[in-house]
Amino acid sequence: MVTKAIGEVCGECGGRTYVIERRGDRAHARVCTCSARCELCEGRGYAYEVREESFSAKVGPKRYEVLVPCVCQRRAKRLEHFNEVGLPGVMAHASFEGYRAFNEAQDRARNLAMHFAHHYDKAGVNKGFILSGPVGTGKTHLLAATLKHLVLEVGLEARYVEISLLYATIRRGFQEGKSGGEIIGPLSEVEVLAIDEMGKGRGSQFEMETLDELIARRYNAARTTLFATNYSLEPERRGTRAAAPSGYRSTEDTKSAAREMELLRERVGERIYSRLCEMCNFVEFPKETTPDQRRMRQELEPRPGPPPGGMRSGR
């Protein structure tokens, strides 16, 4: 156990009492070593709480102690719920503070996600959001930061799914004798669900029916859903599609260009898109001014120079 002086902030957790790290392909939360033994309950899991209540007008208010679960038990439950969210391991350290905005749309998306997370109404209906933009522009980062706050700080239960992996999970379930409903059921009932890569897939009947069932269940139950997609939300782009460029283009290049110009409405259908309009606030990152941050980091990374002693010819 790490000991620290009174008033000193732990260098491992920064005073949060828990640590989030990458384990395999998932983000994992654990109690920090500085808080392994709770100072309030000394590891018992329960502590006394002073309450005041009037049992009669003649006696007046009376104070008494009751044994209640310690705050460390609540923390342990929240960490357990976080480890069930399914956030990608690469997003273990995603935060609102660590998100870099390059334009007004990204700044608006961060502010929208932060406001949603910090003002979530447990007793009311909360409108979700959908982020649209090119790859590598931080959409998954904002989804992860939002879910982390909701689960660890607010105490909600949430899930993250990438839509193509959900389809693959259901197909494997069929081989094991499970129905699609057994897998979709928990996702339909969780308080907040984040669906990444919305619109991705082959657009088969199986995929469309699966997505329609999941969205319909959550819509009918007024549950909050967050989305991220690479497909445009802007209907006006339909009439302004660029003409095909001259010169040689491979079949795959042509298909890729066509996919980039597709609208989310065309990928998910009018029924689902109409429900998204009611369930979410929309934010779209402009393709022309929103850089791929992963690509930027790779291009700015110093390249290794020649080995000591200069270039050597190979044989």
* Domain contains 313: no
3-state secondary structure of 285: coil
* Domain contains 274: yes
Among 36, 60, 76, the domain boundary falls at 76
Q: Please tell me the distance from the alpha carbon of residue 191 to that of residue 23, in angstroms, as a whole number.
A: 25
Classify each residue of 149-186 as buried b or exposed e, where b means 16 or more C-beta atoms within 10 Å of its C-beta. Answer: bbbbeeebbbbbbbbeebbeebeebeeeeeebeebbee
Per-residue pLDDT at 252 exceeds 70 = no
* Domain contains 308: no
Among 33, 56, 76, the domain boundary falls at 76
pTM of the model: 0.81
170 pLDDT tier (thresholds 50, 70, 90): very high
Residues 26 and 110 in one domain: no
pLDDT digits (tens, 9 = 90+) for 4-39: 555 588 989 988 999 999 999 999 999 999 888 888
State the CB neighbour count (10 A cutoff) for residue 309. Answer: 6
Residues 129 and 190 in one domain: yes
Q: Which residue has the higher pLDDT, 313 or 52?
A: 52
Residues 160 and 47 in one domain: no
Residues 116 and 54 in one domain: no
261 pLDDT tier (thresholds 50, 70, 90): low
Q: What is the CATH number of the domain that holds 198?
A: 3.40.50.300
* Domain contains 58: yes
Residues 282 and 134 in one domain: yes
Residues 41 and 169 in one domain: no
Q: Which two tokens stand for residue 188?
A: 């339909």
* Domain contains 314: no
217-237 mean pLDDT:
89
State the CB neighbour count (10 A cutoff) for residue 72. Answer: 22
* Domain contains 4: no
Q: Which residues contact 102 (CB under 8 A, 6 or more apart)?
A: 289, 290, 291
Number of domains in the chain: 2
Do the beta carbons of residue 60 and residue 125 sit within 8 Å?
no
Residues 104 and 219 in one domain: yes
* Domain contains 44: yes
The pLDDT value given to residue 235? 66
Q: Please tell me the distance from the alpha carbon of residue 201 to that of residue 208, in angstroms, as a whole number.
A: 9
Q: Which two tokens stand for residue 295?
A: 């690509």
Residues 88 and 212 in one domain: yes
Q: Please tell me the distance from the alpha carbon of residue 233 to that of residue 312, in angstroms, as a whole number.
A: 54
Residues 136 and 278 in one domain: yes
Per-residue pLDDT at 194 exceeds 60 = yes
The pLDDT value given to residue 147? 98
* Domain contains 246: no
Residues 112 and 46 in one domain: no
Range of the domain at 211: 84-238+253-299
Residues 40 and 123 in one domain: no
Comparing C-alpha atoms, which of 114, 78, 93 is closest to residue 27? Answer: 93
Residues 129 and 106 in one domain: yes
The pLDDT value given to residue 290? 86
Q: Please tell me the distance from the alpha carbon of residue 297 to that of residue 299, in angstroms, as a whole number.
A: 6
